[in-house]
Every structure is written in C-alpha cells, then in structure tokens.
Structure 1
C-alpha cells in the first residue's frame, strides 16, 4: 500500500509539474518593433500665446526582458526598451516650421493572459526621454525627463518566436505621444 501511495503521489507531482512547465514560457527575450508615433505638443508661451504641434512619423524600438512564467495562464514579465519616435516635422501654429526628435529608455512591468499561442497583455512603467527641437529660423531647444508609460498589446507565439502588436501612450511633460507598433521577439 505504501508503494501505491508513493507511486500515486509521484505521478500527481510529475503531472502538475508538467502542466506548470507547459504554461511557463519563462526566460529572457529580445525583440524589436516598428510603427507610427504621433506627437502632440500644447503649451501657453508668454508673449506668444498658445503653441500647438501635432505630427507623426515612423518610429521603432528595441526591447528585452524576462518572462517569469510562474502561473500557467498568466504572463508576468519585466521589460526594458530603447525607443526612437522618429523625426516629426511640421508647423507650429501654421507659422513656424519645427523638427522634433524624441528618444527614450523605458522600464515596464507586463501582465497578461495566455490562451494557447495567443495572448493579451498590459504594461506600465516609466520612460527616461530626451527631446531636441530645431526651429527653421535657427533656434533650438532640448529637454529631458522621466514620465509614465502605459500600453496594451496582443501576441501570437509559436515555440520561442512571437509576433506582437502594441499601443503605447507616453505622457512626457508637455509632449503626449501615441505609439502603434508591430514587432517580433525571441525567448531563449
């Protein structure tokens, strides 16, 4: 009877460990995404009035992270990325030509649900950003800061390779940026 109990206990442990491992796509991952960044700037400048700038450009990011894979149906990960929002060129108040370049480093936490190879996720964290603004009359300005970032996305994974689509919102001081992207990642 002791052998039967031991064998049954070992079988249950192996079965539950196998189920947990099957859902635990844990490990380090790297990837990249490309998409569209929409930059919106609005402020009131003394002796000039309200200043508005709203343009978009192609943007990209390179990212890496670690997926913990603790619970079979839930993704938990930490992720860092470098984001280049492109070079937005446009008019300020339909009068002054400007070229805005924004880059940044992000640190986010991800939580998601897995439905087989398909999954949904949400993220939140911070971005440490740098902005350079060049004006057509020769003036320029730069700024930097650390502000929040939020996002949602979906992924489709086969083995270690995944394709993902994301929407991220960056609330950077006076600049608000929406970033829509599609990318791929590889888990080691």
Structure 2
C-alpha cells in the first residue's frame, strides 16, 4: 500500500524522535494521541460524511507558560466514499501520513488553542466506472484546534484539518493526547 519513499520520508522523523528519547527529559516531552473524526470531501459528488480515525506521535521542543511548539508525525484516514452521480459509479478513498509543526498558545490554566501545519503524504484512489485513478502525492495540510488539560499528562482535544489533496479532504474530530 505505501510506496517505499513515503515510508522512508514518514519514518525518518519518527526515528529521530525515538533517538531523542535517551534522556529522561526528552522522554517527558514525547506525546501520543488518537482521535475519531468526521471526514468530508469536495472532490467526489456526494454529501455523505465518513467516520474515520487518526493517530500521531509528537515531541515538544518548547514548553513554556506562554508558548509551546512541537513536531509530530501522524496517520489520518481521510475517508471512503462511493455512489452514483452523473450516470457514473464512483468510489474514492484516501489516507495521509503527515509531518507537522504545532504551535500552542495557553489561554488559561487548563485550555490551549493551537495551529497545525505541515506536509501530508496522501495515498488515494478514485474509481469511476471501473477506471482507476491514483490520487497519491505530497500536499500541504493545516488546521486549528483546542485542548483541555485534564491532568499534566492527559489532554482532550478538538481540531479541524484541511488537506490540500486532489479530492480536497476536510476532517473534524475529537481525541485524547497522552504525554510521557
């Protein structure tokens, strides 16, 4: 499913994060997260949404009371859509492996707002009347979100992301983030 170059490109930041985990302080700055999202796309003729998932791993480079910055690698299912339109049967599905920078701004003792931007390595396929079309490529993506700090190590977040791929995917969802 994944092309070798995409695997290497995606796994390089993850390997770098793993190597940084040698000291206790570096381990304390690593986080993982997962969420449930609603996916919507503009590139296929449908009004359906799809429920999808996402997983990510990140590292906090800057963590102060006024600003935080991290880098994360993630996987986002962008959805699967099918149906009939304009006399054609179609099916479209896509997923993305991402590398992003995330800038956080605390707005209270338990609330943070953030912006996320980076590169998405998208793998997609659209089939119209049996003709397959690949939607693979490297595209920009970004979004905004907010998180509530439940404990020092557990956050609940909500975010909205836009992927600038051929089928113009948008996802919105909620999830949990666990810091070590």
Same fold, TM-score > 0.5, yes or no: yes
Within 5 A, what are the aligned runs for 1:28-177? 28-41=30-43, 53-54=45-46, 55-93=48-86, 95-114=87-106, 115-135=108-128, 137-157=129-149, 158-172=151-165, 174-177=166-169
Q: CA separation in 1, counterparts of 2:85 and 2:74?
A: 30
- When normalised by structure 2's length, the TM-score is 0.77
Q: CA RMSD in A?
A: 1.6
Partner-residue secondary structure (3-state), 1:175: coil
Q: Distance in 2 between matches of 1:38 and 1:123?
A: 19
CA contact (8 A) 2:159 2:172 kept: yes
Q: CA deviation at 1:122?
A: 0.5
Contact 2:40 2:79 in 1 (8 A): no
- Report which of the two has the higher share of strand: 1
SS at match of 2:64: coil
Distance 1:125 1:131 in 2: 18
* Cα gap change, 1:168 to 1:29, in 2 (>3 Å): same
The secondary structure found in structure 1 opposite 2:130 is: coil
Q: TM-score scaled to structure 1, two decimals?
A: 0.74
Structure 1 unaligned segments of length 5 or more: list them: 1-25, 42-51
